[in-house]
Structure 1
Amino acid sequence: MQWVLAGVSLAIILICGSMITSPILYSAENASSTAHHADPSLISRTAENRAGSVVPAMDNLIESTGTIVLNIKNKDFKAAQADLEAYMAASRSFNSLVVNLDLSESEIGEFVEINRENIESLSTLFEESKRFEEISSLEVVYRDEENPEALYSVAYEGEALRMKMEEAYQRYAAQQSSLQSVSSRYGLSTASYNQSVTEFAAVVGETDAAQESRLDAIPKNDVFPLTLGIEPTTATFGDRILIAGTLYRSPGQEVGISIDSRLWGTAITDINGRYTAYYPVTAIGTGKHLIYTSRGSRYSDVIEFTIVPAPAALTLEATQGDYGAGENVLFTGTLSSLDRPVSNALVSIVPDEGAAIQVLTDEKGVYSCTGLLDPGIREVKAVVSGESLPFAYTASSPVTVDVPHAWMGFASLVMKGAVILVLGLGLEFMVRSIREQRSKRRATPISRHEIPVLRQPALPPAPIAEPLSPAEVARQYALHVGNGDYREAIRTLYLALADRIGRKAEIRNYIAWTPREILGATSGASEAKNLAEFIGKYEHSHYGTTETSHGQAEALLRWYGSVTEAMGGGQD
């Protein structure tokens, strides 16, 4: 009992010692912070240095923008992609630094929002410029092939790309004054960003010129025109846009409807060549979009429409636990707009460190997923971007999750086990003490002279069972083999030999002996050799992992006969 308690106490001391590195209590000379307390004497000193620690990171982000736009302008898309990925990674690190330092300065928060907008604008410029260059190469091929349908498709896709680049430029240029204001507060230079705005405008200007030339060069089909009209031209989430037109002298024809140069659906013309369709505003980004219809070599005019962002409500709950596959947090929440659930919407779970997790909402606007967060106090928020949904950039309220280290879970388990062990030992000690006290109260004192001396009579020797005859051995063996119980069959042969050797060696409890001990009790050399073979095969068959087979039983029967013959045969 004492050794067990000493071991448990030593384990608790070791566990507590491992936690000394993150104390709950602290002194002013050695201050530590946790999620549940702060040292007031350090708040003022920390506030003076927090913003200064992120200024170099802000400067690096501002400088990165110029290189990205310049590479796009020079059509070096491989280098532009590498620079853009590095810029996005640096932005994530910067956001984590801001969260970890708990910066509340309005200028820092404004810089984070400006930087987020710039990432979206630069990403759009990169993707659309790269695609515009690809369709320019396709245009040359289609002209050589004299393929007017493909030329129309290229021209209209180019129009959609140009519009997206122009919108991205407007957003990017609109950040210039705000960025200059924040940068001047911390003494940062915005020369690189100013140059990137100029280069951005040059890329858009080159795209406009190339697209105008492309539209002028495509052939026109005015004999049997295809018309198009939409209503309304400005819509928001939950609206339906009416698409209608006429394909002259073409009843029962399938007309393709393309939105932003991507085929969305089809409509069938009636007897008069008219067609109609409704486009639900659900999974489309905010801003300007293009729509046109086509049938073979006939294309309608391109019509522009605008999606106005609707207000959205996004919630998030995070629960720490063990959810299998190494995932330690469960994320749940809802997305709604104008008191209606938003289904099939892409929601991003963005932690302060690590990669984002994306999940789709169901028909009720509910989403649920699990993920892996790094140990520590993590801040997480859910985000919906206006690029793919008719909402402005929407983020949930941040949620804090305390993710323990792996060793903390093990230490907690050991502590719980130690507590249970101590309680169990204490309970056992109490029960034993109570029983001893009750036993003493019930005991009747007896004089030392009255204590009788009890003498136990000697036990008679245990009778030896009658030996098995060869006929009985053969009968039992045949009975077990007939029932398919080969293990008991060879057991019968072994017991018959053990009985014979035990009687000869005067061993009364030979049944409790192991086969190897029975083998050691033999005296004759010839019988020992045959018995060793029998014992070896018996152990392999009886104690093996596989079932004893009929062939093994028959083999042991033959060795049984050899052993009895070596022992002189006759009555067992």
Structure 2
Amino acid sequence: MKSGVRYGVLALLVLAALAVLAISLSGPLLYSLDTDRFPSQHHVNTNALKAQELNSTTDVLPLMQDLLDYSGPIVLNIRAGDVEGAKRDLEAFAKTRRSFDNLVLKLDMTESEIKEFSESQKNQEKILSELLNTSVTLDQLASLEIQYRNENNPTMLSTIRLQGDALKTKINSLSEQYNTEAQTSVTIGKETGLDTSSGEESIREFREYAVEVSSTKPRQQLEDIPIRRSSQLSLLIYPDSVRYGDTIRCFGYFFSQYGYRIASTPDKPVTLYLDETAIGKVTTDTTGSYTLEFPLGRVTPGTHILHAESGTTRSDQRILTVIPIDSVTALKVTTSKVPGNVTCTGTVTSGKPVRHAPVELVLDGKKVKMATTGSAGEFKETITLPAGVHTVQARFTGTGYPVNPSESEVQTVIVPPAAISTVIYIDNSIFVLVIVFIVLGLSGAGALWYSRRAPAGAAPPAAGPAGTQAPEPEEDEGALPDLHGPALPAGAGAAAESALAERYAAILTVEGLDAACHTAYSDLASRLARDHRIARHRVLTPREMAQSCKKRPYCSAFSRLVSAYERIRYGGCDTEPIREEFEASMERTDARMRGEEH
């Protein structure tokens, strides 16, 4: 098939493909699993199948069952006083609930019972978290009651009793809220065929725990203690003796101005102060109570004053005793790629990481640099040392911390002399430039070698002595063999070219028209290649040679010669009209080429 026909067919196929694509984009096929049924399993709507896959019992119902099963053990652990177990179960419950909520969003089930179940579980998590915190506070109040009873402090005992009453009221309120939310989950669970026994048990345990807490009465000795309030805002701390890293729990009650016994003030902002420095803020709940926890950090050892404020209302002061604790400082020294530089890494701990603490790096007994520990008690710093033997040590002074000072072991570092250790470090950018220049140099050398090996075109051969034929130009080693038969030696002068007709006639008589026309074509093609500087013209087809001929008087005649040549050479046409047409084109091309050269 001719190249023009091939290109035309390819263009038609491309246009047809683009037309089909445009039609499909303007009106895509949309499948509905509800209305469309297809016999082939490959004819499906992938988006609908994805939603159908998620909306299955293997994804939704197991998570619902897990959420129902978690609630029972959480309430049971709180009632039994197992705080750690309750925290673990509550964290697992929260993680499962978040996974369930994400699944509900993917399925877009915002108006279904599943969404209602999700909201109910979210409220239950909040209620159970408040119940756990309230239960812990009640236990700490019991410990403080024993302490103040031993100290014979009726004022604090009265405060503890009022605080406990407020917490019991809060637990009863939480029980009512939980009953409503849990019943919703149980009802939906039964409708979907889930096991709701754990959820029903949690409702029963919660109710019994609230009754149990409310029925607990204070000891008889408290009944005769008169209520003497020195402030509307109470404050209790637990424990009152701490070490670095311990968590301090502060809780209290905001009484109304005219009802010291039972009335309270909710939604009141409370700020906690340590030695007149604010360390935290909280808001009272619906019962008027508040709770705030904070870890003991950078505080000097000894006694400190804690108090709470809300507007112009100030609580009584509480004494906090901070006990110092020993520390351990570790140091590791490693060499760097840069001569003389060493990296110092280490930690400062006191059973717990000492955070954001200053560490002195001491070189040969003199402080040279300061480092600061991170959140895990770690530090890292680089120092430059002269040549020789040096000692490096890390020191934690403990200034401002309830942590005793400590020092690391002394590390010995040997820095070699400059003559031995000096290494010239070159910037990476220099390496990049060197590589670029090498690549450019190699590319230029390769291009030069290739241009010398395969020049763009063969220069016309120099004319030989008068009456002689110039030598044939050397063949390129990489040239392909002649596909058209033996070539006629190319003449350099007009005398050789004028003999073309005679050679043609001689070969026509001996070998026939096919060989004669090939001899004539080869001669004319060689002259055209020299004129147009076409390298390796023998690998080109006659038609490609004709297309390469441009802006010469003989181009049209050569094209007609090629047309007749192809019919004779390839088509086997050996008629008189074709022969005459070829001979006429040959003579015209030969004459015009000789006219160009002269």
TM over 0.5: no
Which TM-score bucket, shorter chain as reference?
0.3 to 0.5
TM-score after normalising by structure 1 = 0.35
